[in-house]
Structure 1
Amino acid sequence: MNSVFGSVFWLLVTLGVLVTFHEFGHYWVARRCGVKVLRFSVGFGKAIWKRIGKDGTEYQVAMIPLGGYVKMLDAREGEVDPALAGQEFTGKPVWQRIAIVAAGPGFNLIFTLFAFWLMFLVGKPDVAPVIAAAPQSIAAEAGVHTGDRILSVDGHAVATWSDSMDAIVNGLLGRDPLPVQVRGTDGTTRNLVLPLNQLPAGQDIGQYLDKLGLKLAPSPAIVGNVLAGKPAASGGMQGGDRIVSLNGTAIESFEQFQRMVPQEAVKSPTLAIVVERAGKTVPLSITARMESLEGQPSAWVIGVKFAEREQAILRYGPLKAMQASLETTWNSAASTFNMIGKMLTGQASTKNLSGVIGIAQVANASASMGVGWFFSFLALVSLSLAILNLMPIPVLDGGWLLYYLIELVKGSPVSERTMMAGQYVGLVMLFTLMGLAFYNDIHRFLPS
């Protein structure tokens, strides 16, 4: 699928699912509280599809897919038929209005738990956190060696590369020294401290990760499969061989070998390759040839497939998956609040905000990585929507909840003038936040 088309498609899928679920929360609780729902809209603007349900509600999908709304019978928006006065929103007790407003973020939270549960149920393919450090990077100075396996970050055990990076990214927000436990290739366990306090303030996570210099260890140059009838098979190479050298140059990784084969074959197709087999070195002479494999453009090939990285998939039964979902939701919420708090206090840069373009790119990338990754992505976006909507900003659900909590305390509704002023302030805040996120998305495309 084309990258741009894929990003747009999966963004629409993401927003369609999450917005529908959010608005259904408002709709479902409003109906249970006896409020008449006039319209249920996914998207804003002109309707591209609509119908009237048996309950009298107008259901529609609108042109602008960046949100949605539930329009209820509301005396603030015009005269209400006296026969319908009992179904009008503002006439309901304040606790019912609170329940209706809170239901949207609440349903997003329920969806988060469900999506994480599905993720753990179907499994999220990943690789083991076997790492290396870029030369002269912070990770290298901290003592990270090629082949180290991360066991825990800040005291929390990790089993996959993505889990370890999530924990490290959370630490990068605060730029405090971060304890990491690793196990080396010799089997010994070491306790390291990543000195994140050396990172400069005001940069985004991508820049911090570059300076940290932590990466997956290169794939070992171990032959997984030798293709029958190809040069490697004719030259005596076998599955399980570890490539030691190519034309006298020591081979450290599969990636290095892949780069060197065409470079050396251009000089002479006959390659001197030394492999390690059963503890002994075996010299081989293999003549590369130009051909196309699996429909790819013609290139110098010898016909080997290398062993994959060590896999680490998280997959549980239904009960264990629910426990893991609860834990992951809690930890993800804590990380999100941590990030918001650090941005508000200036400890973390607002460059870390992403808008609709960034979400679209991640949606496409996660969908291409498999259903487990896409469920994980949906869960995280749903959780973010729940937290964002609960922020006490007028025009968001959290702003209305603030008004109703004030009403509970003072015993009477907030004045219409105060509400109108709050709406204007809320719109300014919301558009500022959206503009900043959009600017960050565009800025990431520009050369640094």
Structure 2
Amino acid sequence: MNLIWYALWFVVAVSLLVTVHEFGHFWVARRLGFKVLRFSVGFGKPLVRRVAGADRVEYVIAAIPLGGYVKLLDEREGPVAPEDLARSFTRRPPWQRIVVLLAGPCFNILFAVLLLWGMFWASGVTEVKPVVGDLAQGSIAARAGLRSGDEIRAINGSAVTGQRDVVFGLLDAMSSRGEAALAVRAADGAVHTVTLSVPDAAQRRRLTEPAELFRGLGFQFWAPPIPAVLGQVMPDGPAARAGLKAGDQIVAIEGAPVSDFREIVARISAHPGETLAITYRRGGVEQTARVAVAAEEAGAKRIGRIRVMQPQGITYPASMLSHTDLTPTAALGRAGGEAWSMTVLQARLFWRMLLGQVSLKNLSGPLAIAEFAGDSAQAGVASFMGFLVLISLSLGFLNLLPIPILDGGQIVFQLVEWLKGSPLSERAQAFGQQLGIALLILLMGVALFNDLARQFS
């Protein structure tokens, strides 16, 4: 996957979601009688410009497609004609200003609900049953009594229907008290409870790092067998440099036979920084390549990577899938519920991140988001729409945070003015803006550091 592909879909996603956000501000401001001067998609030099309507609103598509803004009439920014003073932002009632500021994040959340609604209505909901597969000996899960073949039915009293519910439930439990009571049904039909307990706070925080939850607990979901055949081989990765290609069947690693792709992953992961002899079959002929395994930090451990992916087209048997077709009304209800649960979980995890209970490594910057955008676009329309749902909900939530430079911080300013009967002093507002900028730079710095650490690891 090349950088142009990632950049293209990153721009598409950001431009779309920022336009939705700013349209929320624009639409509500117009309905409440504010005077809108400009609605811009993007920043910088205007590429397309059109003036329309009785208010002569300027509609702009600008050169830098990584944002946008709505400019309202505001006497703090320059002289305002007497006949327009009543439509200036500062002259409107505080409740109206708050509604306009809320509209951007709310439109992002509404957009996510509408996308989910369309997906659920068109395709229904397919869940993969959360059946336990491999367990690591001596792990937290194994010591608690979890067994291969157990199906997880509930976590801490909340029913789960698919693997995603289990991921969210375990992440919520481990980042909180570190205890998850799993109601499970064994392969023989017997129902019992298994309690996963992680009393150590540092260990719980490590479990919240990317890709560490199941590795740390010591179990994986059951998955269908995967042939020991290479799917995509990343350009300039260790495998590609050694001459391996997509479609090669891996026969053995260091002379030990392999028959499943997961065996390849396990063997490679155990040898970071080493050079391994990998025997493969191509066109009926067996050959051996010496592959220098890359080392990557995963939590507290170093693991090996050769930058290959599993073959595509592996499907679950029908017995592992649960599909539900939804009416338009049921799909809308399900979409609203999904958006609400994801936003609430996001808020909990963010708060716990501030408290030090959730790893800061979960913050993703533009590089990671671009990768997610490109990968989801390659996977298909449904996958990219799912990506848009997650990012739109995140954009809505983050803009509601009480940071002065964001919508949430501006809402706090308006609430204070409403309660005290006069606006905050310019000095207080300026200090708030500077503090907000500093906080955003700090968050963006951590996110960018995480991006670069993933890229260079």
In the superposition, the TM-score normalised over structure 1's length comes to 0.76
**1:218-251 superposed Cα distances (whole Å, 9 cap, x missing partner):** 42599xxxxxxxxxxxxxxxxxxxxxxxxxxxx9
- Stretches of structure 2 that go unaligned for 5 or more consecutive residues are 228-256, 266-278, 286-312
Q: Residues 151 and 181 of structure 1 are in contact (CA less than 8 Å); yes or no, is this contact kept in structure 2?
A: yes
Indicate if the aligned counterparts of 1:392 and 1:398 stay in contact, CA closer than 8 A. Answer: yes
1:279 counterpart residue number:
none
Structure-2 change in CA distance of 1:254 and 1:133 (3 Å): closer
Deviation at 1:89, TM superposition (A): 1.5
Counterpart CA distance in 1 for 2:263 and 2:355 is 48
Pick the aligned partner of 2:284 from 283, 287, 290. 290
- Residues 178-210 of structure 1: CA deviation (Å, up to 9, x unaligned): 112222222222311122335625432423432
The alignment yields a C-alpha RMSD, in angstroms, of 3.1
Give the Å deviation of 1:30: 1.0
Deviation at 1:95, TM superposition (A): 1.6
Q: Is the 8 A contact 2:89 2:97 kept in 1?
A: yes
Q: Which residue of 2 aligns with 1:227?
A: none
- Would you identify which runs of 4 or more consecutive aligned residues in structure 1 move more than 4 Å? 251-259
Query: Which letter does structure 2 place at the counterpart of 1:42?
Result: V
Cα distance in 2, alignment partners of residues 61 and 29 from structure 1: 21
CA contact (8 A) 1:133 1:139 kept: no
Please, which of 396, 403, 411 is the counterpart of residue 413 of structure 2?
403
Shift of 1:393: 0.9
SS, match of residue 23 in structure 1 = helix
**Residue 379 (1) aligns with residue 395 (2):** no
Residue 73 (structure 2) pairs with residue 73 (structure 1): yes
Amino acid at match of 2:134: A
Question: Which of residues 211, 216, 225 is equivalent to 1:211?
Answer: 216
Which residue does 1:130 correspond to in 2? 131
- Pick closer, same or farther for the CA change 1:195–1:3 going to 2, 3 Å: farther
Of 3-12 and 348-357, the range deviating more from structure 2: 3-12
SS in 1 for 2:199: helix
Structure 1 residue aligned with 2:270: none
1:169 to 145, 168, 171: 171
Is the Cα contact below 8 Å between 2:135 and 2:148 reproduced in 1? no
Answering whether residue 111 of structure 2 is matched by residue 101 of structure 1, we say no
Taking the TM superposition and a 5 Å limit, the aligned residue runs for 1:25-424 are 25-55=24-54, 56-123=56-123, 127-136=128-137, 137-174=139-176, 176-198=178-200, 200=203, 202-203=205-206, 204-219=209-224, 290=284, 308-309=316-317, 310-313=320-323, 315-424=325-434
CA change 1:63–1:207 in 2 (3 A) is farther
Q: What displacement does 1:338 show?
A: 0.8
Describe the SS at the equivalent of 2:70: strand
Distance of aligned partners of 1:215 and 1:21 in 2 relative to their CA distance in 1, 3 Å threshold: same
Secondary structure, counterpart of 2:395 in structure 1: helix
Larger radius of gyration: 1
Quick one: which amino acid aligns to residue 196 of structure 1?
V
In the alignment, residue 363 of structure 1 is paired with which amino acid? Answer: A
Matches of 2:316 and 2:264 in 1, distance apart? 14
Separation of aligned partners in 2, 1:306 and 1:419: 56
Contact 2:136 2:219 in 1 (8 A): no
User: CA distance change for structure 1 residues 208 and 71 in 2, over 3 Å: closer, same or farther?
Assistant: same
Judge conservation of contact 1:98–1:404 (CA < 8 Å) in 2.
yes
SS in 1 for 2:181: strand
Matched letter for residue 87 of structure 2: Q
Residue 23 (structure 2) aligns with? 24
Contact kept in structure 2, 1:122 and 1:372, CA below 8 Å: no
Distance 1:168 1:20, change over 3 A: same
Contact 2:111 2:392 in 1 (8 A): yes
Does the 8 Å contact 1:120/1:314 carry over to 2? no
Equivalents in 2 of 1:68, 1:338: separation in Å? 29
Q: Which moved more, 1:26-35 or 1:152-161?
A: 152-161
* Aligned partner letter, 1:173: S
Tell me the number of residue pairs that the alignment of Structure 1 and Structure 2 aligns.
Answer: 380
- Give the letter for the 1:365 counterpart: D
Give 5+ residue unaligned stretches, structure 1. Answer: 223-250, 260-265, 270-287, 292-304
Distance 1:143 1:325 in 2: 35
Residues 220 and 253 in structure 1, CA contact (< 8 A), matched pair in contact too = no
* C-alpha separation in 2, matches of 1:51 and 1:58: 6
Q: How far off its partner does 1:3 sit?
A: 5.1
Q: What do residues 100-156 of structure 1 show as CA deviations (whole Å, max 9, x unaligned)?
A: 111111212211221221232233555332222342332233223222222222222
Task: Give, as a single letter, the amino acid of the residue that structure 2 aligns with 1:132.
Answer: G
Q: Determine helix, strand or coil for the equivalent of 2:347.
A: helix
User: 2 CA distance for matches of 1:386 and 1:289?
Assistant: 52
Kindly indicate whether the alpha-carbon contact (under 8 Å) linking 2:130 and 2:152 is maintained by their aligned counterparts in 1: yes
1:79 partner SS: coil
Which deviates further from its counterpart, 436-445 or 189-198?
Answer: 189-198
Aligned to 2:443: 433
Shift of 1:315: 4.2
- Cα pair 1:169 1:205 within 8 Å, conserved: no
Taking the aligned partners of 2:50 and 2:321, their CA distance within structure 1 comes to: 49
Residues 350-403 of structure 1 deviation map (CA, whole Å, 9 limit, x = unaligned): 222112222222233333444344333322222221221111111111111111
C-alpha separation between the residues in 1 aligned to 2:380 and 2:121?
Answer: 13
Return 367-376 or 429-438, whichever deviates more. Answer: 367-376
Letter in 2 for 1:128: K
For residues 270-298 of structure 1, the C-alpha deviation after alignment (integer angstroms, 9 at most, x for no partner) is: xxxxxxxxxxxxxxxxxx9839xxxxxxx
Contact 1:125/1:372 (8 A) holds in 2 = no
Paired with 1:306 and 1:390, the residues of 2 have a C-alpha distance of 41
For residue 74 of structure 1, what is the amino acid of its counterpart? D
Q: Secondary structure at the match of 1:60?
A: strand
Q: How far apart, in 2, do the equivalents of 1:220 and 1:149 lie?
A: 18
